[in-house]
Amino acid sequence: MIPVAEKARLIEEFRACLDDWAEGENESESENEDDNAVIDLSTLLAEMAALKNEIRLESRQFKSMLEEMRQFGEALREQNERLNRDLERVREQAAAGKRQAERGLLMGLLDLRDRLAAGVDAGDARQPSFLARLLPAETRFARSLAQGQSLTLRRVDELLAEHQVHPFEAIGQMLDPHRMRAVGVENAPDKPDGQVLREVLRGYYQHDELLRAAEVIVNKRI
């Protein structure tokens, strides 16, 4: 049998070995934890650096996108201004063409009115003749024709009024070269030089714009 003292010594040595093993395991675990901490910190720093680079890259891309959008907006604004100018020019051309066409139509109406007025005046000035008394049917026809001309003249005047066309008075006025054109002279000693004595062709305004200048005979004292 093993003596009691020897048993006690062996137990103490075994306990000491167990303690040494436990301390060794604790030191190993501590070293592993420190290594893991170092490894985790390095990974974190690397990830932060990568994230920073990614943010910088995205910021550059965002700035580039903003610049492209600004350039696109500027180009769109310039194109819109160009389209507005073109549209305004087309509108002005259309309005000018419409005014020109309307002016041509109104000038034709004025020419027709002059002819009708001349016919009506000639009919009013015509005196009954011996032949007219012998041919009453022809006289009635001429009277009907004159009445028809008067009605047509009235309708033409109504059309001119609808387009705001109205004559202006020239007789008795001093010659105005902006709206009158002298086509002849006469001598009236009791009238001042340059005064309009007669109208050869009446002048007209449309609204406040001269449509047709008046052709007049003016006084010239000798």
Quote the distance between the C-alpha of residue 185 and its chain's center.
51
Q: Please indicate, yes or no, if residue 97 is contained in any of the structural domains.
A: no
Yes or no: say if 214 and 180 are a contact pair by the CB < 8 Å rule: yes
- pLDDT winner (highest mean) among 40-54, 98-112, 126-140, 173-187: 173-187
Q: Please indicate, yes or no, if residue 4 is contained in any of the structural domains.
A: no
Three-state secondary-structure class, residue 177: coil
Angle value at C-alpha 71, between 65 and 73, nearest 5 degrees: 100
pLDDT, average across residues 82-108: 89
Q: Does 37 have pLDDT greater than 60?
A: no
Q: Please indicate, yes or no, if residue 179 is contained in any of the structural domains.
A: yes
Whether this model's pTM surpasses 0.85? no
Q: What is the CATH number of the domain that holds 187?
A: 2.30.22.10
Q: Please indicate, yes or no, if residue 214 is contained in any of the structural domains.
A: yes
Domain of 189 in residue numbering reads as 165-222
Give per-residue pLDDT as tens, 129-175. 544 555 455 556 567 777 878 888 899 999 999 999 999 999 999 99
Q: Exposure string (b/e) for 143-172, b if CB count within 10 Å is 16 or more?
A: eeebeebbeebeebbeebeeeebebeebee
pLDDT, average across residues 102-126: 83
- pLDDT winner (highest mean) among 10-19, 39-48, 89-98, 194-203: 194-203
Q: Please indicate, yes or no, if residue 39 is contained in any of the structural domains.
A: no
Pairing between β-strand 180-186 and β-strand 214-219 as defined by DSSP bridges: parallel
Give the pair of three-digit tokens for residue 122: 């000639």
pLDDT at 43: 80
Q: Please indicate, yes or no, if residue 205 is contained in any of the structural domains.
A: yes
Neighbours of 211 (CB within 10 A): 21
Give the pair of three-digit tokens for residue 148: 């028809």
Q: Please indicate, yes or no, if residue 32 is contained in any of the structural domains.
A: no
Yes or no: say if 160 and 193 are a contact pair by the CB < 8 Å rule: no
Number of structural domains (the chain) is 1
Q: Please indicate, yes or no, if residue 173 is contained in any of the structural domains.
A: yes
